[in-house]
Chains A and B, each alone.
Chain A
């Protein structure tokens, strides 16, 4: 390749450059220079400014960022805890069940003692699942009183139980009329004079008015009222107020229970369990504790064998020489028909009759204990249409 191969090109560019006349506008150059000078002044001004320290440079960020985050969290948490309680669809704002008004009514005790209604409805207060309202929270409340406490306190009568009832009490759901079939007289023995002749003469026992028993403080469970518990004294003989009793009053919710003194029969009518708080609760007497001598031959045998201690007879004997007929009435069934002496004529009685003890098992049954010098015999009497007849004999 020739050294001057591109000489014509280069010469052409040289000629063109020489002929080039590009005048730089001095005003434009000055304007740009002024602009650059102004920019230089700004840069120098920025450089002249003393450099700020770290805190002075970032103080707003150091303070502002945490404050902003705190504000954001506050707003978030505030809206999270904003519980809006909406009533149920079937909720009636005017409903008063469980309201404080009903509670005050329930606390009225017309009997002067704590009253628990017959059918206590133990309602479990639903636990309020929503958080406890805070002052800043929006709670839509239509007047429903909600106890915020979590409790299983029984709710009686639609009202709230007073705070003294700290422990739920199992209340009887119904009042069971006690049916105490057997009767073994506690201590009193009516005085019956039995002549040694075959026809004993039975005299009616002297009615001894039972002493005014002291009513225990145990509240009764009744429907619409309380029942009283009478504890007979240690009087040897007493007569329940049978004359005042009327069958027509069976439906009356108020009835009396006579509890004989403890004589080893092992049944207790009233449980006097007392709470430490002083409140007395009535526990129904289980029927298992009541000996059913009616249809249980074993019990009768026990009675015959003396396993069940019988009351001491003879206190009411009018004529001890002639023996005596002790008539034990069921205090709980004082209306039982009197075992007449004619019935005794149907059994064989030895001449050396000491005592004849009549144990009323129920209205229609009676166990007669004939005691002579050497042996004791038992007869089971049953009555039909007022006539007592021997049905069984136990030697």
Chain B
């Protein structure tokens, strides 16, 4: 199934949901996990908060599905945008800093019982968590949407309300900044 076919199928689902609210449940089943994980990462691994924000996100989507117009982007982009706004509201409401603890954000497992691949993944998560602390909110969000959610620059631009070119520039600068924050191979050899 090509990307265009996915978009066409997604468009049909959205149109069905706009005609019959029952069709929205199918969209919910399709995108809930993806949106839930995104929220879960954003709120620092708090399941209850992720549950509340996730339910509010899909409820908002249900109530406003009639206003959604298909513009060639995946429907998930619209859901990400709603979730992104709700997370920001939650941070503003709770007056918390968007600092995500490493173990909570990425649900690190016990290192002793993991394989070498898992250990490398856990090590990568630690490095990313350390790197994220040196980035601002927009840079964190760009990297998160870019690499964890796998969204394109167009989708990221739609979510963050910026232009696509601006997002491209921001992605390049953020990666360059992150690269400078990562330890070099010489450092890793010394560490090992």
Residues of chain A having any CB pair with chain B under 8 Å? 5-6, 8-25, 28-29, 31-33, 35-37, 39-40, 43-44, 47
Contacts and interface: CB of A to CB of B under 8 A. Distances in A.
Given A10-B147, A24-B37, A28-B47, A15 B120 contact: yes
Interface stretch (B53-61, B72-80, B86-94): B53-61
B179 A36 contact: no
B107 interface: yes
Interface in B106-120: 106-109, 117-118, 120
B28 A6 contact: no
B36 A24 contact: yes
B107 A20 contact: yes
B127 to A, nearest CB: 6
Nearest to B36: A24
A35 B55 CA distance: 8
B58 A12 contact: no
B51 A16 contact: no
Contacts, number: 110
Interface string B21-45: 1101100110011001100110000
A255 B120 CA distance: 149
A13 B147 contact: yes
Contact of A9 (B25, B29, B33, B182): B182
B14 interface: no
Interface of chain B: mostly helix, strand, loop or mixed: helix
8 A-B pairs with least C-beta separation: A19-B121, A13-B147, A15-B124, A40-B21, A16-B124, A16-B125, A32-B55, A28-B51
A29 B182 contact: no
Contact of A8 (B54, B107, B120, B182): B182
B160 interface: no
A39 B59 contact: yes
A37 B28 CA distance: 10
Interface string B142-165: 010001100000000000000000
A25 B55 CA distance: 13
B147 A36 contact: no
A47 B21 CA distance: 10
Nearest to A21: B107
Given A19-B118, A22-B107, A29 B59 contact: no
Nearest to B171: A6
B13 interface: no
Given A6-B176, A20-B148, 20 more contacts: A6-B179, A9-B178, A12-B128, A13-B148, A16-B106, A16-B121, A16-B124, A19-B108, A22-B37, A22-B41, A22-B107, A25-B47, A28-B36, A31-B51, A33-B25, A33-B32, A36-B25, A36-B62, A39-B63, A40-B24
Given A16-B121, A19-B124, A21-B107, A32 B179 contact: no
Contacts of A6: 175-176, 179
Contacts of B143: 13
B83 interface: no
Contacts of A12: 124, 127-128, 182
Contacts of B167: none
Nearest to B22: A40
B122 interface: yes
Contacts of A25: 47, 51
A15 B115 CA distance: 13
B47 to A, nearest CB: 6
B124 A36 contact: no
